[in-house]
Amino acid sequence: MLPEPPYLAVIFSSVRTTEDDPGYEATAARMEELASREEGYLGLESYRSSDRSGVTISYWKDEASIAKWKANLEHLVAQKLGREKWYASWSIRVARVERSYASE
């Protein structure tokens, strides 16, 4: 069920400015859909707390697939809105998954 390492994880941690922005939810859903269509996409998990902080981890085959997704035109617009409007603060870590284990 898990991809076979090595592959890459992009850990996007953020604090939203407000919870009351319907445009945010729609864009987040659209970005998930778009990302999942990119070559090299291996999965995504996303969570947010009631205190506005949250994390989205997306998994990718290699650096090329991350670079292509980062440069996606609709994604660029969303990134700009995120920086200017939706996020009070954010961080991105790019990490190489070296091993994994799972239940079952």
34, 54, 68, 72: residue in contact with a copy of itself (rule CB under 8 A): 54
How many angstroms separate the Cα of 81 from the Cα of each of 13, 16, 23, 53?
16, 12, 10, 17
17 is an interface residue for a copy of itself by CB under 8 A: no
Compare residues 20 and 49 and give the one whose CB is closer to a copy of itself: 49
Nearest to 6 by CA among 67, 100, 97: 97
Compare residues 34 and 55 and give the one whose CB is closer to a copy of itself: 55
**Interaction with a copy of itself in 72-91: which residues (CB under 8 A)?**
83, 87, 89-91
Compare residues 76 and 92 and give the one whose CB is closer to a copy of itself: 92
